[in-house]
């Protein structure tokens, strides 16, 4: 899921990571329809585990894709340059992935997602707000997650470097800029969820 070669919390010694409190995500409340493109679907492969064969998971890292469990189709690909025809997917998911991309790439990724999504298709985005750095020498900020996918719960975490100013409003602005409607938003502590719809 890592587009700019920064390390996730699992790849860094825990002594360098400042952990937030545990957050819970209940995927069972979401209805992911039709053919699903999962951007950054390597690593834990949460969406692939949840929706199985409906999912085409892409990630620029072959290693991350090989590690991902589940029986979805896995393709080495970067979200900035989707090798799919226009209006290919019913649903797109971005599960705690945008934080690993460089800010200048965000708008292009949103344009690409809008392009490959069918009319009336939906984009589901989960991510976190990086808070201001407290008094600490730890280099990374991370959250611990417990994710309910129905038949089991996945315990994992996601983290990145301090200083990134990505938040819910940043992604809402990007979505509106490329033509998405915002149909749902939810904040849970440092994490948030946004659902977008393409007209």
Q: Please tell me the pTM assigned to this model.
A: 0.90
Domain regions of the chain by residue span: 31-129+161-198
> Top-level CATH class of 31-129+161-198?
alpha beta
No. of helices (H) and no. of strands (E), the chain: 4, 10
| pLDDT at residue number 134 | 85
8 A C-beta contact, residue 143 and residue 158: yes
Residue 11, pLDDT above cutoff 50: no
- Work out the angle at residue 56's Cα, subtended by the Cα atoms of residues 93 and 75, and round it to the nearest 5 degrees: 115
Q: How far is CA 160 from the centre of its chain?
A: 13
What is the rounded CA–CA span in Å between residue 2 and residue 98? 9
8 A C-beta contact, residue 61 and residue 68: no
| Mean pLDDT of the residues in the chain | 91
Alpha-helical (H) ranges within the chain are 46-51, 62-67, 103-116, 168-178
**pLDDT-derived band of residue 112, with 50, 70 and 90 as boundaries?**
very high
């Amino acid at each position: 899921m890592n587009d700019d070669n920064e390390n996730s919390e699992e790849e860094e010694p825990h002594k360098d990571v400042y952990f937030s409190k545990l957050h819970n995500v209940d995927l069972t409340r979401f209805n992911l329809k039709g053919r699903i493109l999962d951007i950054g679907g390597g690593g834990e492969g949460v969406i692939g585990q949840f929706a199985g064969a409906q999912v085409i998971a892409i990630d620029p890292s072959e290693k991350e894709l090989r590690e991902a469990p589940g029986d979805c189709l896995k393709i080495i690909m970067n979200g900035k340059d989707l090798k799919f025809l226009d209006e290919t997917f019913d649903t797109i998911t971005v599960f705690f992935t945008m934080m690993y991309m460089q800010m200048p790439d965000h708008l292009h990724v949103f344009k690409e997602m809008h392009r490959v999504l069918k009319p009336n298709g939906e984009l589901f985005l989960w991510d976190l707000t990086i808070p201001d750095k407290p008094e600490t020498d730890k280099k990374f900020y991370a959250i611990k997650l417990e994710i309910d996918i129905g038949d089991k719960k996945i315990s994992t975490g996601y983290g990145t470097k301090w200083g990134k100013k990505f938040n819910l409003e940043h992604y809402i602005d990007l979505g509106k800029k490329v033509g998405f409607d915002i149909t749902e938003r939810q904040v849970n502590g440092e994490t948030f969820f946004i659902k977008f719809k393409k007209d």
